[in-house]
Amino acid sequence: MKHVFLTLLAGAALALAAEKSFPAHWGQPPQIQTRDYRDLPGGYGKGSSTLANWIAGNLQKDQLAQAGGGKPAAPSAAKAIYSQDFEQTELDKVPDAMLVLDGGFAVKQAGTGKVLELPGDPLETFGVLFGPTEKDGLCVSARILGTGKGRRFPVLAVGLSGVGGYKLQVSPAKKALELYRGEELKTSAPFEWQSGKWAQFKFQVRPAKAGEWQVEGKVWAEGTPEPAAWQINFTETTAPSPGRPSIWGLPFSGTAIQFDDLTVTAVK
């Protein structure tokens, strides 16, 4: 059973505040939403955290555009089903819609912004689930920051299809970018990770022809261009299981790992 609401939840929020409709330039609200139910920002009634994040993001874009004397921002080409930058989360907490599988994840201050941080101890693999439950058709992106110490390095990953699903994993000790399904390594590619520099992850699972799925991923250092081609490209012939996107970290170097700017979109 998919743990998502479709646009019914957004429609319910509009019914509670029918006199206030969304601005036309925002486009359509997310089609896939989480099951939680909360107050929405901007006086838009009640709805899911997915809808709340979508509203908050659009309100912020409009505020920034108007402060600069411009018009409200036009809708982006790929609309986020889920987004989280942790700026609205209390320090030392975790956003309500996220499921911590294990580990001491907590929001911390990092310069002028906030990040989700995994402590450098204990030296085990820990993860967090977020966003909608689907078996395919999703693209997850995130920024992850880790630091090596001597000959010890962290392991960093994003995932799709839940705990036993797919992981796009940077393994600095192996100088490799790896694709796992559960505990099984499916394929890998050479990769030079940069310690102490944010790494941008982009990972998707999409249906191809009948009975096949394409699993595609890329990672690049902040401040460098996004690679034009997927660095990992794997053809799957066993149907993926429904599950939520995820982030993962193994702080093997004994230093904290930071996560930021989590986004889930529909595969184009």
In this structure, the answer to whether residues 164 and 262 fall within a common structural domain is yes
Residue-level pLDDT at 109: 96
In this structure, the answer to whether residues 60 and 176 fall within a common structural domain is no
In this structure, the answer to whether residues 123 and 232 fall within a common structural domain is yes
In this structure, the answer to whether residues 52 and 112 fall within a common structural domain is no
Q: What is the four-CA torsion angle of 132, 24, 74, 131, rounded to 10 degrees?
A: -10
99-104 long-range Cβ contacts below 8 angstroms, 24+ apart:
99/128, 99/129, 99/130, 99/244, 100/126, 100/128, 101/126, 101/127, 101/128, 101/129, 101/163, 102/126, 102/127, 103/127, 103/249
Whether 189 is covered by a domain: the verdict is yes
Residue-level pLDDT at 77: 53
In this structure, the answer to whether residues 24 and 111 fall within a common structural domain is no
In this structure, the answer to whether residues 45 and 106 fall within a common structural domain is no
In this structure, the answer to whether residues 247 and 132 fall within a common structural domain is yes
In this structure, the answer to whether residues 21 and 120 fall within a common structural domain is no
pLDDT 10s digits, 36-67: 777 788 778 888 777 877 787 778 777 666 65
Whether 82 is covered by a domain: the verdict is no
Residue-level pLDDT at 98: 97
Residue-level pLDDT at 79: 86
Which strand ranges, in their side-by-side order, compose the sheet holding 155-160? 99-100, 126-129, 246-250, 155-160, 166-171, 176-181, 184-190
Whether 233 is covered by a domain: the verdict is yes
**Residue segments in the chain with a per-residue pLDDT below the cut of 70:** 1-20, 31-35, 63-77
Tokens of 116: 């989700």
Q: Is the dihedral of CA 220, 155, 252, 121 positive or negative?
A: positive
pLDDT 10s digits, 140-169: 999 999 999 999 999 999 999 999 999 999
In this structure, the answer to whether residues 45 and 112 fall within a common structural domain is no
Number of domains in the chain: 2
- CATH number of residue 193's parent domain: 2.60.120.560
Rounded CA-CA distance 145/159 in Å is: 16
In this structure, the answer to whether residues 103 and 191 fall within a common structural domain is yes
In this structure, the answer to whether residues 32 and 114 fall within a common structural domain is no
Checking phi first, is residue 30 left (phi over 0); if not, alpha (psi -120 to 50) or beta? beta
Whether 83 is covered by a domain: the verdict is no
Which DSSP string do the residues of 27-76 spell out, in sequence order?
-SPPSSB-S--EEPGGG--EE-HHHHHHHHHHHHHHHHHHHTT-PPPPPP
Residue-level pLDDT at 191: 97
Question: Pairing state of beta strands 126-129 and 166-171?
Answer: unpaired
Q: What is the four-CA torsion angle of 212, 215, 216, 222, rounded to 10 degrees?
A: 160
Residue-level pLDDT at 24: 72
Q: Is the dihedral of CA 200, 139, 130, 9 positive or negative?
A: positive
In this structure, the answer to whether residues 130 and 53 fall within a common structural domain is no
Q: Which domain holds residue 40?
A: 7-75
